[in-house]
Structure 1
């Protein structure tokens, strides 16, 4: 197939790892990833203030956090396929422009429904940026060392965004309003969208472009229904309002698998699951969302509600966790190739579990200080997980499937995060003492930590089971 003007196919000579264009591409992708994660975590430390401003109850508050996960999980795979087909730089810039517009929508939202709709759209925009970002780096950095350096820096931006987002939101809320952070992020996204064309080289896969409409509809609807069921489950799992969307979700997921197996241009090539390293990457991403992102996203709200810490104080605790994640991921730029990513996954999950167990009892003791050691330990684990998954997402797929591989990896991560957030809020709000009819409890806070620890152990076990098959190829 001929390559259109201005588009570089994978067969073209890749950009050298150390030249100026490589540095520009790395800056653009990392800056956009930082903006995405700052947007993602913006409501975490100011959820009570945001909920009061929008008139949101407890169930609706779950959607204030989880709506962006819905947009991410439903569209990451199709965004990756669109990047491979129509050009990764093009989809990257479209994602940034949509992120700017939807973030303005969140800033001016008059009610919870409008805010949730804006957050879902932010998720769609973020999916485009994340899915093709790793693909752009894989095209730019073609040596093993160069890719390890670039993906580790990309992973460190996840930690940096999670660290800075809640802190900036809390600071601006204390000064004026939580809405100002969204306006600032929208402006930065617009600037990056306008300059991205000069910072990035276009790349695409050498195959005809075709949108997998049945795959988009079945997967997107299935994930939306699954999240609805899990979110509503806090009021009772055997109600029709929960069982009907849950059953429909299972049926649609089965239809998605059947559709992808038959179509000539699937948005997820099921043949990738024959590769053991791809299976490890996908399972590892799912458990990272469940165990690392889910409980950690809910923790700042629990600390505010149960201990009385201010929004800025809760953001500071989130900064401790995410700061540790950033430092570890950033250090792996220099040492990442010395360790097999499957070993990094296992160690990351082990540290996550250990950190959570260290924090047990903090709510009952009314002590935010008791969370600090656990936040540092679990944050370091998150840094290992992010760096390992970034390497696996690129290394576990063929060169013309890098955006699809990134999309699959991030889809699993944010599906896990959606389920983890919903499950954590459900657990924290269900174990109430006698006479308490709403809110959270100290027993519920401990149960969230135990849930996260158990899921992290399962994630470590899954990584170790496949280590022998994947470590030699990726070490």
Structure 2
């Protein structure tokens, strides 16, 4: 990623390729691993709770540190944080692939989440700096975003193919190869661009944020096994509540908060952030449950399980591209509501299916989930950015990504708890109905708050606070 001394990029194409590949790598790590969970469980003798931590150890750290890593890049240099994050991610994923125990795997996933949290926000900043002309920058950001959608869609299928040929450890090897490719594409670069010491960090807010989300995740994952009224679970819930209250108090008083609360005064901003959380709560949670269902209940191999997701995953990118062209004519609300209703209806249909129903009966609902979910993301993002002051666009993007990842963490934790106790199929049905309810709630939120007069940020919000 050659950057000239005056700050202009010498090779914007290489910057985009490296940034997009690193984003693909970070997002695919959240989906491809789901197909690997049954063979991981068999090798290590893991419970559903243990497998939940394989997914959430990564996503929890990823969600909690996204905003702070973006601020760290501003302070010590974006390229430096990107390169260190990429190196940490590669090393952590290699450790995952070689892990001798479940504990080692979960610990390595935690470090991989830290690496991903450093890579994702800084990769977007590098693109923004490499492409100066607004139209070229918009196209580059669209390519970067599309790679994330492709990773989300292709993860289960790629994971299934790799496991069928090389075994479950190759799922992590894929990200090692992708990371090394990003390093090679980026090439050597001169000294890291200097950071700005006036960009301060918010350590108190960061500690409280990860404490709140981590405690809630622990309670949801372990609540069924330990008992919802047991001492450790009640203590975790209390810690989550107190940490959340403390976080909001700290952020309201901090001169440089990691989460600027004034942004939430705009209804559309709050609505889009909430919709992002609900979308990932339902979609990430159902991928986790269905990956286990296809293999543990229906007896599919990892390859066939990956292929079983194809009706859902193949339609995500299609609807992403289709709705992007329509937004100038339709606005954000109509496609957002339509997509959320379609996705929620598909999840509802899956939840109502009999466990013995043939696979063909799941195809139409999965098509609805994939196509509907793909319709939601572009207008949701556009609505959030339209409701954000120009000086805060980077922070707003980080808030949306963090809320979406947090939704995924909560969904996987809760749905894992539902299927861990008692009958798997009964728990899966409740989980899918909960996912459907979340998407229908997202549709109601969009109907009420998106594309309303209050969408524009107030003039007072134009000045960073």
Q: Under a length normalisation based on structure 1, what TM-score does the superposition of the two structures give?
A: 0.86
Shift of 1:89: 3.5
2:373 is aligned, of 357, 382, 396, to: 382
- Per the alignment, in what secondary structure is the counterpart of residue 300 of structure 2? coil
* Equivalent in the alignment of 1:469: 452
* C-alpha deviation, 1:208, in angstroms: 0.8
Structure 2 equivalent of residue 64 of structure 1? 54
Match of 1:355 among 346, 354, 360: 346
Q: Which moved more, 1:377-386 or 1:111-120?
A: 377-386
Q: 2:104 matched to 1:109?
A: no
> C-alpha separation between the residues in 2 aligned to 1:105 and 1:331?
39
Using the TM superposition, give the Cα deviation of residue 76 of structure 1 relative to its aligned residue in structure 2, in angstroms.
1.2
Rounded Cα–Cα distance in structure 2 between residues aligned with 1:333 and 1:201 = 38
**Distance in 2 (alpha carbons) for counterparts of 1:23 and 1:171:** 30
Q: May I ask how many residue pairs the two structures share in their alignment?
A: 454
Write out per-residue CA displacement over residues 122-144 of structure 1, whole angstroms, 9 at most, x where no aligned residue: 11222222233444445556788
Which residue number in structure 2 is paired with residue 40 of structure 1? 30
CA distance in 1, matches of 2:284, 2:138: 23
CA RMSD of aligned residues (A): 3.1
Q: 1:68 to 1:254 in 2, by over 3 A?
A: same
1:335 deviates by 4.0
CA contact (8 A) 1:44 1:166 kept: yes
Relative distance call for 1:31 and 1:5 in structure 2 (3 A) is closer
- Asked if the contact 1:28/1:200 (under 8 Å) is kept, the reply is no
Residue 370 of structure 1 corresponds to which residue in structure 2?
361
Deviation at 1:265, TM superposition (A): 1.8
Higher mean Cα deviation, 62-71 or 106-115? 62-71
Equivalent position to 1:157, from 140, 147, 152: 147
Matched, 1:92 2:82: yes
C-alpha separation in 1, matches of 2:64 and 2:230 = 25
Q: 1:64 to 1:429 in 2, by over 3 A?
A: same
The within-5 A match list for 1:292-371 is: 292-371=283-362
- Residue of structure 2 in register with 1:454 after alignment: 437
Contact 2:77 2:194 in 1 (8 A): yes
Q: Tell me how far apart the structure 2 counterparts of residues 287 and 144 of structure 1 sit (CA, whole Å).
A: 32
In the alignment, structure 1 segments of 5+ residues that lack a partner are 9-13, 433-439
Which runs of no fewer than 5 residues in structure 2 stay unpaired?
A: 458-465
Q: Report if the CA contact (8 A) 1:156-1:387 is conserved.
A: no
Q: How many angstroms apart in 1 are the aligned matches of 2:22 and 2:454?
A: 31
CA distance in 2, matches of 1:455, 1:302: 21
Shift of 1:368: 2.0
Give 2:461's aligned residue. none
The equivalent of 1:435 in structure 2 is none
